[in-house]
Structure 1
Amino acid sequence: MRGTTLPGALDEAAATGPDIAVSFPSSAERLTLTALAARTTALARALVAEGVAPGERIGVFSRNNADFMTAVIAVGRAGAAACPLPLPTSAGDLAGYAARIAAVTSAAGVGRVLVGAGADGLTRRLAPVLPALRFDGIAGLVRSARDGVALPDVSPSDLAIVQFTSGSTAVPKGVVLTHRNVVHGTAAIADGIGLGVGDHGATWLPLYHDMGLFGALSAILTAVPMTIWSPSTFIKDPASWLRSFAEIGATVAPSPNFGYDALLAAVDPAEVAGLDLRRWRVALNGAEPVSPVTVQRFGAHFAPAGFAPEAMFPVYGMAEATLAVTFPPLGRPPVTTWVDRDRLARDGVAVPAPAGDAGARGLVGVGRPVRGMRLRIVDGRRRAVPDGTVGEIEIAGDAVTAGYLTAGGPPTALEADPAGERWLPTGDLGFLAAGELHVSGRRKEMIIVRGVNYYPEDAEALVRDAPGVYRRRCVAVADTDDSGAGAESLTVIAETTLDDAADRIRLAADLRVAVGSALGLAEVSVRLVAPDALPRTSSGKFRRAEARDLARQ
């Protein structure tokens, strides 16, 4: 991968593997790298002819199809910056969705949105309520392209992508990523998993999400075949997706932890032996907390299909790092570190505890920094802490953003620490053990009751597998009790299919006792909601701030 810009890296990949293809089964499309490079050039020329200026920010609104990938790269080739826009997660609440799009485009300074095949019906409904945006069809622009239009010179320092974070605890922020960030970030992913000849990448994740976009680009820019399904293909029938994945001989695929839970629930043990997963050598697991229970169950469940223990690949990353921050070593099965749950939450220290002990918490190791990435754990004064001590994770490196876009103002740059270095505070808490990162939670999500800290993940782990909880879906949040005194309590919100009032009362009581007795906490409440009621981000993570509001309804 020698190109120093996103379109330059594609051109280099196309020269290396001109017939390597990117396939989109959900839209029955297939483009060789040569064809993809030519299509991005045509669209870039059309954009320049339409008056797109260098540095302009352009929205990309498309399903997981060829139009999406074409638009993101073409916008960069035209000297502008692409801003992938999330598609709605449900058919309802058009007004709420339009408000979110308005907020994102305002923050990014987007006035023009490129619309891909299959998304034009939705934009026709959005256009009247978003009059500040101009929607242009990608296919029509490609057809209008003229060969004589000159393209601008693009520099590695130019802005390439504005990637909005999924916002599980706050309003999404626009992460500014230069061409240098994108090239270094995707190269670090390819290096970290040894991506190369003989590999075949695959994803069902939305391309507007960082794990979907940069995961796919890592394969494409390395001249590795890539297959991209629509998210609905997986969500509607995970078992069918897995069969298709196995049939094409894919070797690398990413997913949040909940995706592996979905496969466990969807594929009956009797069906496993009929699958051939021997070629699946890297199953990246990230974008949300990695569950040691899921890791163990998935490996055991799919072992008869040839899934190797070392194929499960727990990772840590974020949009601000152009995805990858830490990877474990290739060829090593996942490692879980067991620590005293109370000491971790209350004292911020990782004290070893027996595996599976009632008072222990298992944290899956997510490896060491990828190539070009630096990482440290700091206290509240941004001083480095020793191994085994919990602190905020900070990162720095060639793939790390220089700052954020905010509505109504200039980009927000990273602040220098007391030593004058520009480290990015991630908002995540964790510790190092033997140099390997273990992520313990989010700083803003910590629940404090009577001055004592509780990780929401601890409460969730205690009830996730309880009979009656729908598909392990639950969240724990801090809430204010009804006494009027403003005292905080821990509230568990769990989805359930139970209709009978007595059954629901019994389930709520069981969950309350399980959490209260294990954590030594009296201030525990439980709210049961219908399946799919818990709000999620575009990447599938639960929106905790909105879930807290749900608890108060």
Structure 2
Amino acid sequence: MNTVLDWLDSPAPERGIHYYRNGDWHLRDYADIASAARRTAAFLHANGVTKGVVSLLIEEPETFVPAFLGTMYAGATPSPIASPVTFGGHEAFTEHAAAVLGAATPAAVLTDAHLAPLAAAACAKAGTGTPLVLPDPAGLPDADDLAPRQAELALLQFTSGSSGTPKGVRVTGDNLTANVRAIHGWLGVTPEDSCSSWLPLYHDMGLIGTFLGSVVAQIDLWLMSPVDFIRSPARWLDCHGRHGVTITTAPNFGYGYATSRVREEELAGTDFSTWRVAMSGAERVDARVVADFTSKLAPHGFDSRALTPCYGMAETTLAVTGVRPGHGARIIRPSGPLDTGAPVSVDGSGTLGVDRPEDPAAWIASCGTPVPETAVEVVDDDGTPLPDGTFGEIRVRGTSVADGYESPDPAASAPFGDDGLRTGDAGFLLDGELYVVGRIGDSIKVRGRKVHAEDLEAALTSVPGVPPGRCAVALGNRAGRSGAVVVVEAPGDGWLDAVTGVLRSALDASVAVTVVRARRGTIPRTSSGKPRRRLLWRQAGEDALTGDVLHSTHGNDRPTAQNAPGLDGAAT
């Protein structure tokens, strides 16, 4: 059967990856990348690595690409580890990397000279020996006679999830090939297309959705690091406005960040009329953020119909559903409670990127229809399928559903059943399109209706003074009472009254509410940047959060302000 490495035999001429470094773009064509991948495979063989998992701790995209492909070519299973940049410090990263290595039990850990000391520390902590350090490209062995080998497992993709426990998703060759093919079919990728990305390559959205999707199709890929995007989001937009790139993907945060940071003069002379796919995934879509992005770029030719929200996860390799490019994405405003098994009432609808709701938290964007070879249904607590327009848990079936988790405990793969993958996400189908509300475990019942953490976060980030992406809500029950812990990484307290007002309107006096002001970086996050809400809830219960308690309600709903034990340290 076809594999994601078939292109190595005949790389497309004059196509390749444009890497952003030292303030400019540098093209490495696919023939050069194919050669570097083979030579990396030869380096692994020379060091006795011909099978098993190879954990990749490599930060620079230009080094990561041939290392990943070379590991596959060698007959081993690549398993990327998140970059140290996503963690608060080296100690936190070492703890995370050691936990991943302990779960992966790799045959080797492959790193570069820059990260070699951190890799060695993580290996020592996990007891996995000494890492292999890649030499300079000129120091890699020749690979003229090296033939490709196919591993039993194509990819071991780690996801920390909201619980913070690393889980290795077993992605087979069939899974990977099917999902890349499904993405191409959904987007209608042709040789005339090209793609841009600033997403990290250790995460499924950047790894499969942009990197592998581009190299398998042999289209040009314009690749930045996340750090480069943060420094200059205009460079990302330039890919589309000055170089004619047609496809990209980013979380909602990326579109909002570009809108706020790119100056009008930086857009002078740009033309976005060839930009036909702007995927949005990994986090909830904020219709107001997207409308502002469209408004800023529309005078330069951007078409809102390019916006294509999508839904996916590592457990399904990546893509599950997506809005068809060029169709326009629908947004709706549900009314009434969203309870499992209950019909969803809709009292408003609009178009993403065109309509700008004043209350974005009340609106949900369609994530489209299933990609090829994938089926989606919504089920009740017993796993019984529910009709269109009914709220419940999302279940996925298809060739892209992975082969469970890498774990000695068979119960770990319980969500993977004969009838499909129970995702743990709540949502509903409406006219065949999927609407995702949030994680089932990140909700509580208030007055007979479910309140989701994502909804509260969306509402709170519309409060002046609460920075986008710097607020997290953890919901749960303790001592028989529902509670909400809100952490805001912002200075001052001018936003406090508005924040407590939002919480009062969404919750009631039966819910114990705590609002914490904290320094930037306090909110624990997954490797993909999502808040680890269950860990946040646990830290709050153990008095292990650092910050100032600005508001706390108890049984009589009287607020108190304090610097609580375990919540010490002023946020400035």
Instruction: Indicate whether the TM-score tops 0.5.
Output: yes
Rounded Cα–Cα distance in structure 2 between residues aligned with 1:31 and 1:270: 31
CA separation of 1:80 and 1:221: change in aligned 2, threshold 3 A: same
Rounded Cα–Cα distance in structure 1 between residues aligned with 2:306 and 2:257: 18
Q: Deviations over 1:351-403 (max 9, x none)?
A: 11235597982110011111111111111111100111111111121222011
* Contact preservation (8 Å) 1:474, 1:495: yes
Matched, 1:8 2:6: yes
Partner of 1:431: 428
* Contact preservation (8 Å) 2:169, 2:315: yes
Partner of 1:476: 473
Rounded Cα–Cα distance in structure 1 between residues aligned with 2:380 and 2:422: 11
Partner of 2:230: 235
Q: Which letter maps to 1:353? A: D
Partner of 2:384: 383
Matched, 1:178 2:154: no
Partner of 1:343: 337
Q: Which stretch has the larger CA shift, 358-367 or 186-195?
A: 358-367
1:209-288 alignment runs, 5 A limit: 209-214=203-208, 215-243=210-238, 245-268=240-263, 271-288=266-283
Rounded Cα–Cα distance in structure 1 between residues aligned with 2:496 and 2:343: 32
* Contact preservation (8 Å) 2:281, 2:311: yes
* CA deviation after TM superposition for structure 1 residue 273, in Å: 5.0
Q: Matched residue of 2:436: which SS? A: strand
Q: Which letter maps to 2:132? A: D
CA separation of 1:286 and 1:117: change in aligned 2, threshold 3 A: farther
Rounded Cα–Cα distance in structure 1 between residues aligned with 2:340 and 2:193: 45
CA separation of 1:507 and 1:92: change in aligned 2, threshold 3 A: closer
Matched, 1:164 2:158: yes
* Contact preservation (8 Å) 2:169, 2:404: yes
Q: Matched residue of 2:85: which SS? A: coil
Q: Matched residue of 2:324: which SS? A: coil
Partner of 1:105: 101
Q: Matched residue of 1:326: which SS? A: strand
Partner of 2:437: 440
Q: Matched residue of 2:474: which SS? A: strand
Rounded Cα–Cα distance in structure 2 between residues aligned with 1:147 and 1:209: 29
Runs of at least 5 residues in structure 2 that lack an aligned partner in the other structure? 350-356, 544-566, 568-572
* CA deviation after TM superposition for structure 1 residue 479, in Å: 5.1
Q: Which letter maps to 2:311? A: Y
* Contact preservation (8 Å) 1:470, 1:531: no
Partner of 1:501: none
Partner of 2:497: 509
CA separation of 1:149 and 1:268: change in aligned 2, threshold 3 A: closer
* Contact preservation (8 Å) 1:286, 1:316: yes
Q: Matched residue of 1:159: which SS? A: coil
* CA deviation after TM superposition for structure 1 residue 262, in Å: 0.7
Runs of at least 5 residues in structure 1 that lack an aligned partner in the other structure? 499-503
Partner of 1:114: 110
1:206 to 175, 200, 207: 200
* Contact preservation (8 Å) 1:447, 1:455: yes
CA separation of 1:308 and 1:377: change in aligned 2, threshold 3 A: same
* CA deviation after TM superposition for structure 1 residue 263, in Å: 1.0
Q: Which letter maps to 2:229? A: F
* Contact preservation (8 Å) 2:101, 2:126: no
Q: Which letter maps to 2:362? A: R
Partner of 1:528: 517
Partner of 2:287: 292
* CA deviation after TM superposition for structure 1 residue 448, in Å: 3.7
CA separation of 1:141 and 1:216: change in aligned 2, threshold 3 A: closer
Matched, 1:392 2:397: no
Q: Which letter maps to 2:226? A: P
Q: Which letter maps to 1:6? A: V
Q: Deviations over 1:202-249 (max 9, x none)?
A: 100110010111021101110100111111001223234433553332
* Contact preservation (8 Å) 1:338, 1:354: yes
CA separation of 1:309 and 1:412: change in aligned 2, threshold 3 A: same
* Contact preservation (8 Å) 1:449, 1:489: no
Rounded Cα–Cα distance in structure 2 between residues aligned with 1:53 and 1:493: 47
Matched, 1:50 2:47: yes
RMSD between aligned residues = 2.8
* Contact preservation (8 Å) 1:175, 1:403: yes
* Contact preservation (8 Å) 1:379, 1:385: yes
Matched, 1:309 2:304: yes
Q: Matched residue of 2:283: which SS? A: coil
Q: Matched residue of 1:459: which SS? A: helix
Q: Matched residue of 1:181: which SS? A: helix
Q: Which letter maps to 2:518? A: V
Partner of 2:550: none
Partner of 1:373: 374
Rounded Cα–Cα distance in structure 2 between residues aligned with 1:440 and 1:470: 22
* Contact preservation (8 Å) 2:197, 2:248: yes
* CA deviation after TM superposition for structure 1 residue 82, in Å: 0.4
1:321-336 alignment runs, 5 A limit: 321-336=316-331
CA separation of 1:369 and 1:131: change in aligned 2, threshold 3 A: same
* Contact preservation (8 Å) 1:416, 1:423: yes
Rounded Cα–Cα distance in structure 1 between residues aligned with 2:285 and 2:249: 13
Q: Deviations over 1:40-99 (max 9, x none)?
A: 122212322322133x10011112422211111111111110010111135753222112
* Contact preservation (8 Å) 2:7, 2:218: no
Partner of 1:364: 365
Partner of 1:82: 78
* Contact preservation (8 Å) 1:365, 1:436: yes
CA separation of 1:210 and 1:476: change in aligned 2, threshold 3 A: same
* Contact preservation (8 Å) 1:257, 1:288: yes
Q: Which letter maps to 1:235? A: I
* CA deviation after TM superposition for structure 1 residue 422, in Å: 4.1
1:145-156 alignment runs, 5 A limit: 145-147=141-143, 150-151=146-147, 153-154=149-150
* CA deviation after TM superposition for structure 1 residue 191, in Å: 1.6
* Contact preservation (8 Å) 2:359, 2:459: no
Rounded Cα–Cα distance in structure 1 between residues aligned with 2:138 and 2:101: 23
* Contact preservation (8 Å) 2:196, 2:222: yes
CA separation of 1:87 and 1:375: change in aligned 2, threshold 3 A: same
Task: With the length of structure 2 as denominator, give the TM-score of the two structures.
Answer: 0.85
* CA deviation after TM superposition for structure 1 residue 252, in Å: 1.0
Rounded Cα–Cα distance in structure 2 between residues aligned with 1:142 and 1:42: 10
Partner of 2:552: none
* Contact preservation (8 Å) 1:353, 1:360: no
Rounded Cα–Cα distance in structure 2 between residues aligned with 1:290 and 1:36: 35
